[in-house]
Each structure stands twice: as C-alpha cells, then as structure tokens.
Structure 1
Amino acid sequence: MNAEFMQAFEQLGREKGIAPEILFDAIEAALISAYKRNFGSAQNVRVSLERTTGEIHVYARKNVVQDVSDTRLELSLSEAKAIDPRYELDDVVELEVTPKNFGRIAAQTAKQVVVQRIREAERGMIYEEFSNRESDIVTGIVQRIEQKNVFIDLGKAEAILAPSEQIPDETYKHGDRLKSYIVEVKKTTKGPQILVSRTHPGLLKRLFELEVPEIHDGVVEIKSVAREPGLRSKIAVYSRDETVDPVGSCVGHKGMRVQTIVNELKGEKIDIVKWNADPAKYIANALSPAKVVSVEVQETEKMSRVVVPDYQLSLAIGKEGQNARLAAKLTGWKIDIKSESQVTQSPAFSPSAALEELV
C-alpha cells in the first residue's frame, strides 16, 4: 500500500469520526488473519503497518527454548544467539517473513476493514443519537408492514411499531407519515433497533409540548396523563402564572391546538382538566365533563366518594366506566361515584366499601 492510499484511509476515518490509530490497529489485526489464511501458517505473527509510507512487514514470533518441539513457534537457544548474542531462554525472537505478493492481499484486506469499521462507526453514531432521544417524539414514513409489525423510516434509521404499541383499529399503509414515541433503543449486531409506540401516554404529552408554546416555555406544566389509546384521554395541566389559563392554552383559539393533536391520534377524544393541589377539587375536575356536587376524600386510603346529580351519573361514569376509570388513572385516587338519590338512601361513607361504579 502506498502513502496516498494510507492518507486516504486516514482522511476517511476522520470524516466518519473514527480515530486513525484505531483504524490502523484494526487493519493490522485483519492482516494477521489474512496472512494465516492465505499462507496456511500456524505461526505466531505480528504485522507492522508503517503509518506514513504504507509499508507492511510480517514478523514470525518464536519463543527461545532449550529443546525445539515445533519449529513454527520455537527457536533453539543456539539459533537465537546466532541472530543476536543477547538472546536468552524464554525471550521472543521476531523474524521477518513478509511474502513478496502480500501487498495486493493487504490492500484488499485493509479496504474491507475500513468499510466494516465505517459501518460500525455509523451504526454507533446512530445508536448514540437515538438512545439520547428515548422518551422523545419522532416523525417518520411507513416503509412496510411485516407480520403486523410496522417499519417506519426515520431517515438515518428504521423504527419498529409493534402490534402491542399500535392504536386499536388504526390502519397503516405505505407512505403514511406518522408521529410516534421512542420507547427503547437497543444495540444489536445489525445496528440500533428503535422501538416506538403510538399508545404510550408519553406520546400525548410530547404532542402537547410541540403544539402548545406555553408548555414548551415552562409556563404551563403537564401534571398527569391517562390514556385509553384510540378512544379517550385525559390530561391534567397547571399554570405557574396566574394570568395564564392552562386549559385555554392547551385548547387554543377555537380549539385548534387540541384539534391538531386529535387529528394526529386519528380522532381520539381528549379531556383537558385543571390540576389542583386539593385532591377533592382535582378529582372533581378530573371527572369533567360531568358536574360534581361534592367530593369526600379519605387520605390514608387514597379513596374518594363523589356525589353527582342524578342526571349526571351516567356521564360521570362514562361508557363502560371509561370516564371514571380515566379520572382514577389521572389522579391516582380510587373513586366511588354516587348519585344524589343514592346518597340519600345510604349517606354513610365507608372507604372499605366496594367501588361499584368504578373498576
């Protein structure tokens, strides 16, 4: 290999973010394998690659012993002293054994090593980039669907949307543009494996951060998110500035901000409620759009009893208990919902009583 060849390797390594010394060390290791493979030698050899000129030297390394049992690996003391009188038993003697036509083999081997290292470096950089973006949102294009797994092109890499992370009844086709949430990035021999989700609560949170400047700026804070993907979600927000309405900020002018997110989630309904440090007020807000008459809380049990007007009972519970279930997830409290007429019949509040209306 000539000097220009070596300079090209060094420049390419720098461009791809690989230290030249690492590249050269890898080439030397590969040349040892190439020598043994092409010249059928079981010798213990060392390859020296001159960094500036590209000259290659192969040295057979032999141990100095009293009685030689394998000439490929050992050298007698008398033979060693004939080379250099300073050699003693157990020293290692290096003898140059560079084949005449080794340059062509070396060039091809070096090329293969460089290509392989560049691929590894690029995969490493992609892994670092996306591993730092776990719990972030990415936009990609659906490339293909295999065994219900959706493969999404992210530009530099490909992400996998597994069936368990897909919104129920949502359909995907080639060319669709999708936003998804990075759940995990794994390092594999074939490069980084990026697992994304459309059902994770974090997706909803990130979408609001993208759409609502007040959240991005830190004026409005998302306190909690509860989702039943594809059906309905609740999000609790709080404003650090008393002059800023957190719910209004998220809804936007004529509902445009929240509608953009609803469209991205293919029609998933979103309730935006105001967070409150008072558990009773927070629970009442979380049951929106239902109107609440009163809330009793049992702090030690984290249980609450909510009273609603008779005509609001079905709305508070929701279809198949959905509204109450989401409110419980959002607040972290168990919620027992009663109508005013039910309370009149059994007014006592028993935290240990079965939660009839809420799972």
Structure 2
Amino acid sequence: MKSDFYTAISQIAAERGIPKEAIIDVMEKALITAYKRTLGNNPPPMEVSVKLDPQTGAARVYAEKQVVDEVYDERFEVELAVARKVQPNVQIGETVVIESTPNDFGRIAAQTAKQVVLQGIKEVEREHIYGEYMDREGELITATVQRLAKGNVILEMGKAEAILPPKEQVESDRYYHGQRLKVYLMEIRKEDRGPRLIASRTHKNLIVRLFEMEVPEIFNGTVEIKSIAREPGLRTKVAVAARQEGIDPVGSCVGMRGIRIQNIVNELNGEKIDVVQWSPDPKDLIANALSPAQVVEVHLNEDDHVALVIVPDKQLSLAIGKEGQNVRLAAKLSGWRIDIKSATALLEEERAAAEVRGYAEAEAMATEVELTNAKVESRKVQPNGTIVYQKASYGPLGNDLIGETVQLRATSQKLYIYYQDRLIASYILIETEGAEKAEEEM
C-alpha cells in the first residue's frame, strides 16, 4: 500500500505538472541543508547525502566522518570497528561515508526544511515551466486574462503566467478578467525569480501566426506572406504570393465569402486587413499596396527611392487614407517613399512647368540675340579687382585678374565679362542714378 508521503508527492507533482523525481531531489537537497544545521556553526568540509524513501518518506543521512581509535565528537568521528563494517580496508586517519541519521532527524527535518522544500519546489516548477515554453518562443498562444497590474496585463497560460506589457498592448483593446485571447509569445527571459514570459498583441508576427492558423495554404507553404505593414488596432496590409501555379494567393487568404479573413479580423477586435498580391516589380507592388484605391501610373526615382503615384481625381482621398494611413502603410509594405498626385494636379503642374520652360527658353534666345549684336569693349581690371562700365563699378573679379584686360558685352539687363574668350562673370546693370552715386563715392 502506498504511503501518505508518496501520495502527497504524487499530488504535488500532478497539481504543478512537474516530475515526482524532481520534487524528491529538491527535498533531499533541503534535508542536507537541515542536517548541516545540526552540526553547529562552521563545521569542517565534509560530504553529506540524504536518501529519501519515496514509499515511506523515511530520510537516511550519510555523512563523511574521520576514522579514530576513540570517538570524542560523534558528529565528525567514527570508531575503526564501526567504519570497517562499511569499508573493510579503511585505516585510522582516513574518512568514510557512513549512515549518520540523528535519532530525532525526522522532527528536525520537518521543522527546518519546510520552507526550503517549498522554495525548492517553486524553483523546480519555474525551471519546468521554462523548459516547457523555451521551445515555444515565437508561437501563437491562447491565454486568459487573470488580472491587471501597474499597466501590465497578467495572462494565464496553463500552469504558466505571461506578461503583456503596455507597449505590447493594442491601444483600442479593453482587457478584463476571464477574457480569452490569442497572443504572440515574443520572448522568454530567465530571471532570478524564474522565467518571465513576455507576450504581445502588437507584433507583426501575430498576424503571420493568425494567417497560418486560418489559411491552410499559408500553413503548408503553398502561399507565402512576403511583407506586412501594421498599425495595431487600426489597419494591416499583407502582401502574399503563390509558390505553386494555379493558386490565387489573395483568394486563399480571404476565403469563401471572406470567412477566413473575417475570423482574423474578429480575433483582432475589428482591425482592418488588406490582403494584396505581391510582385517583384516595384511598380506593380506599389499599385497593389495602395488598394482599395485605383492607380493610373507609377513613376520610380531609383536614386532617391521615391515613387510618384498618379491616381484618378476621385480616388485621391481614398489613396491617401484617413490621416495618411493608407499611403503610409503602402510605403512600409513596399519599402518605397510614396508621393501621390491626382491626374488633374499632375497635368496642371506639367502645363505650368512647360510654360516656365518656354519662358526661360524665349528669354535665353533673346539674350543670345542681344549678345550677338552687342558692342565688345575692353577694360583693365583696377587694383581693387573691379572694372568700370558706364560710370559704375562691377566686381571684384579676383586678385589674379588685377591689371589684366577683359572684354565686356552688355544687353538691356546684364553686363557680361569675358577673359580670354571665356565668360567669367555677369552682373545686373546698375541704373544711371545709382551709377552716378557709385562714381561720386569712388
């Protein structure tokens, strides 16, 4: 018949989900500590072990003692005759490990080791939890809200507890006791007080795991999630691609009548999800990423990694989204900075640019004609680096040109200065009144 001790050990093991052997090992270590306390302060170094009978709970202590002729201290010494019953060849002065269970050790052990045993069991339980969840980092876990503490949400996951820190909580979510929800097991930290499980509701990989759970094609690898852009609680964009011909990746994720995607949306408490077709061509990917808006054209600036997207006038607000959310997520999804313009705005800009170009070209042509017909005059550069034209000073031209002769050509607006047939400077012509003042100051 099994003893009460064995029954108690089995019950603790079953309740806490840890092996019976681990509990017995902890208790044996605790009893060693209890025995050493009976030896007084600063006992000599000695080997001590305790064997616990799992059936009866009886504890036997085996301690290392020195073999002597006459025993003065039974705690540390043993007679030669007694020692040779355990180790026949032992000699005086040597040590032998012999049973040394005190008469009242059961009472001492019960009083002294109780707290140590309880603490030891807690440590074993923590280690067991750590071992159980160590390989589950990065998984989707179903948890129950236990309580709220200092902004953290404490989750119950079987025999373990996880923490949902404030930064990993969705702002729009409301957590209450007993609530069941799915979380992403983001990190497992091994701390002095035991393993700490950190969960997340904002991590992008939570979306990945939910899709794997709801979409068999993603779980088995025939459809692949290429990119995710998420603003937790508000909206998520997911770009998917098929690895097998004949499969519609977007349709697989949405499901018949949208049932698959709706299950994910419900789990995320109404967070909107756009599933789009991924493409290796950035233009196509950007156009798809801006869904549900329609795109007319995409122009890429490879150097600045910027995409200019043209949309119909009526689609502009839809493409940008509320507070820029749609274009912001599309930029994260594609990896390109996106500028959006309506077709009319682009047309007006191009017309204005063409007018500016035409005006500039006409002005340049008129200047060229004036220069061709302009009289060429020569001037010597003065010691202060300037030249005088129509009683006005222009410059300075630089110390290296002092004393050199330069050529001048004037149009109705500007004075052009050449040196050795090369244009070196141009100045807006000073009005006559200003020129007279400049001459008076000189």
Q: Same fold (TM over 0.5)?
A: yes
Q: Quote the offset at 1:334 in angstroms.
A: 1.4
Q: Match for residue 35 of structure 1?
A: 35
Q: 1:288 to 1:94 in 2, by over 3 A?
A: closer
The CA deviation string for residues 241-291 of structure 1, in whole angstroms up to 9 with x for no partner, is: 221111111111111111111111111111110000111111110011111
Q: Match for residue 318 of structure 1?
A: 321
Aligned 8 A contact 1:43 1:60 in 2: no
Moved more, 142-151 or 266-275: 142-151
DSSP 3-state at the match of 2:136? coil
Q: Does 1:284 align with 2:287?
A: yes
Distance 1:253 1:111 in 2: 61
Aligned counterparts, 1:299-318, within 5 A: 299-318=302-321
The CA deviation string for residues 18-61 of structure 1, in whole angstroms up to 9 with x for no partner, is: 767x955x666544432343342422243244577953233456
Aligned 8 A contact 1:138 1:182 in 2: yes
Q: Does 1:331 align with 2:334?
A: yes
Aligned counterparts, 1:42-61, within 5 A: 42-44=42-44, 45-49=46-50, 55-60=60-65
DSSP 3-state at the match of 1:55? strand
Distance 2:347 2:41 in 1: 96
Distance 1:178 1:286 in 2: 29
Q: How many residue pairs were aligned?
A: 330
Q: Match for residue 131 of structure 2?
A: 128
**Larger relative contact order (CA 8 Å, sep ≥ 6):** 1
Aligned 8 A contact 1:31 1:47 in 2: no
Aligned 8 A contact 1:144 1:174 in 2: yes
Distance 2:299 2:262 in 1: 34
The code of the aligned residue for 2:142 comes to T
Distance 2:42 2:107 in 1: 21
The code of the aligned residue for 1:155 comes to G
Mind listing any 5+ residue stretches in structure 2 that lack a counterpart?
A: 68-72, 84-88, 352-442
Q: Quote the offset at 1:104 in angstroms.
A: 3.6
- Percent identity between matched residues is 50
Q: Quote the offset at 1:96 in angstroms.
A: 8.3
Larger radius of gyration: 2
Q: 1:148 to 1:5 in 2, by over 3 A?
A: closer
Distance 2:98 2:264 in 1: 72
Q: Root-mean-square deviation (CA), in Å?
A: 3.8
Distance 1:320 1:228 in 2: 13
Q: 1:208 to 1:107 in 2, by over 3 A?
A: same
Mind listing any 5+ residue stretches in structure 1 that lack a counterpart?
A: 63-70, 349-359
The code of the aligned residue for 2:48 comes to V
Q: Match for residue 202 of structure 1?
A: 205
Distance 1:311 1:245 in 2: 29
Aligned 8 A contact 2:224 2:241 in 1: yes
DSSP 3-state at the match of 1:175? coil
Q: Does 1:159 align with 2:162?
A: yes
